[in-house]
Structure 1
């Protein structure tokens, strides 16, 4: 789920997403995620991705699995349909979704961070559980956990052949370490085909939970829970933690 309510990033700015974050940037992490999705009991052929956003993970995973992509933002689904026309796309909230069918695996990338309370997180994990077949696996990937969060600033962006371009700056902070949220502010410079540049700002509230809570929520939802630390080749990134739930056969 990319949370669209009140977020320009996933609303009127969604058309710029391919220039904010390119699919190539997701290749390494998608490959590691696939190695965990393949740990289901029996072959992993079908994968439900919750909070699929602009489809950058699916761009890599669709070569291995039949992907069903769900996001709360119709604008982001439109972007993903252009990138991944082979995939099934559905609009829905990961806290409430019920498709009345199961998959070999369920994948939730960093959209899981829009769960800002334990209740939100629990509801999202329960959604993953009910859509995971017996013997299947769920893989959830927050950007940070409470034990390793650090304030940071990032920047990036890309250019398109038609002259459009994006440059962005993100600023992540934890205003109140006693609660379960952090704040990220984004500033965007958006260059149109005519060369004119506009400025946009967007603020996102994200959830931040300790490892123990992640594992407990997975276990209490019915999964056998595990934590896996990804191998990272980039020297400027902390190892990313994947939370894996195995649904008993």
Structure 2
């Protein structure tokens, strides 16, 4: 099973330069606070859509993490960064590990659930793997209430190898009546021999209202609330969904 996007497949080895792990420290700390809010002690955490493990590298000092992602290439990146974590290839829509966890964390990989049916499946997966008294935390990039068209850029260099990456991301909504938005990515990728190539890729990601999110979470059996993200970044704080599984 593979992902449809090159960013998480052929280009996965560039991920630590495109989105460096140290940029995740603040949001991982905020997520850790929410994960620790369960009514039971939280030790074992399942992360669905863990990608290159850039949240995990900050969370692993506090929790025992099991990391699941659709992309084997991204998991290979994560294994190098998080050798002490358990890794599995899997789809958050149908994953069944046959065990439960004190908490479940779903970062922005949930954005790729672009229709309600897929989002319901992902939420059900989180519920099935969450122990009674545990908690699930979902961090979509946008809800209807927080979305605005925007662009961003970033990237970094690896001084040791001479490799470097830069990106431009432009997010907009082609059709306000559907449940997804579009992000156009342009990547400039410099190899160690100083050759540079350009890659363009279009991603579709979900856009649901807070009420729709809360309805899907409560429909799965969670007691859910929307919380405004605490961030020092110069952007609209995200809606984070905190979902407790009744004990």
**TM-fit CA distance, 1:63:** 0.4
Map 1:156-235; keep pairs closer than 5 Å: 156-160=154-158, 161-234=160-233
Equivalent position SS for 2:132: strand
Superposition RMSD on alpha carbons, in Å? 1.0
**TM-fit CA distance, 1:244:** 1.0
Kept in 2, the 8 Å contact 1:4–1:10? The answer is no
Normalising by structure 1, report the TM-score.
Answer: 0.97
- In 2, distance between residues paired with 1:95 and 1:143? 19
Map 1:90-109; keep pairs closer than 5 Å: 90-109=88-107
- In 1, distance between residues paired with 2:122 and 2:106? 9
Aligned to 2:54: 56
For residue 12 of structure 2, the aligned residue among 11, 14, 35 is 14
For residue 28 of structure 1, the aligned residue among 21, 26, 51 is 26
Equivalent position SS for 1:105: strand
Kept in 1, the 8 Å contact 2:103–2:134? The answer is yes
Normalising by structure 2, report the TM-score.
Answer: 0.98
- In 2, distance between residues paired with 1:175 and 1:46? 40
Aligned to 1:37: 35
Structure 1, unpaired ranges of 5+ = none
Equivalent position SS for 2:127: helix
Aligned to 2:150: 152
- In 1, distance between residues paired with 2:93 and 2:171? 25
Aligned to 1:87: 85
Equivalent position SS for 2:95: coil
- In 2, distance between residues paired with 1:75 and 1:22? 17
Equivalent position SS for 1:158: strand
**2:116 matches 1:118:** yes
Aligned to 2:74: 76
**TM-fit CA distance, 1:5:** 3.1
Equivalent position SS for 2:76: helix
- In 2, distance between residues paired with 1:224 and 1:5? 31
Stretches (4+) displaced over 6 A: none
Deviation sequence 1:102-123 (CA, Å, 0-9, x none)? 0000000000000000111100
Kept in 2, the 8 Å contact 1:155–1:167? The answer is yes
Equivalent position SS for 1:172: strand
Kept in 1, the 8 Å contact 2:146–2:239? The answer is no
- In 1, distance between residues paired with 2:61 and 2:231? 22
Kept in 1, the 8 Å contact 2:186–2:201? The answer is yes
**TM-fit CA distance, 1:4:** 5.0
Equivalent position SS for 1:179: coil
